[in-house]
Amino acid sequence: MNSFKVRDYMAVDVITFAPTDGVMDAMSILLKHGISGAPVVAEDGRLVGILSEVDLMDVVVQDSYYNENAGIVAEFMQAAVEHVDPDMDILKLAQRFVRNHRRRYPVLQGDELVGQISRRDVLRAAMQFYSA
């Protein structure tokens, strides 16, 4: 599986959010598309964070406990984002998924978001490898 690269299995049509998007709108989009998180991208295309279901739990708690308006994505996203390179080997990525318990990684080429890869994408690569 070392010959399989992230670029061969990553999703390139990725749902993203802007830091200024309403967090309730973001929550609605995640639910509508059945995804658990999405990258947050600045106007210049730079990755600035990631918003996940776990982050949105804070919205639920804040809104019900403090009876406040939900706010914007930038207030709830994780700003420190681990990412991967499109030329990373799938096997090394699988090891990273096991070690770090992440669901997905944004894929960056330099500073540009070029895709996203999930655990499911790695499993798809494994199935292709083992069925060949």
Contact (CB, 8 A) for 63 and 70: yes
CATH superfamily, domain at 6-131: CBS-domain (3.10.580.10)
Three-state DSSP at 104 gives: strand
Looking at residue 64, what is its pLDDT?
A: 57
Looking at residue 129, what is its pLDDT?
A: 80
Consecutive sets of 10 residues in the chain, 132 residues long: mean pLDDT of each?
84 96 94 94 93 89 64 93 95 94 92 92 89 69
Spell out the residues 6+ positions from residue 35 whose beta carbon is closer than 8 angstroms to its own.
Answer: 15
At 119, list the tokens. Answer: 């655990």
Q: Could you read off the pLDDT of 53-87 as tens digits, one per residue?
A: 999 988 887 765 555 667 899 999 999 999 999 99
Dihedral angle over CA of 81, 87, 88, 90, nearest 10? 120
Q: In the predicted model, what is the mean pLDDT of the chain? A: 90
| pTM for the predicted model, two decimal places | 0.85
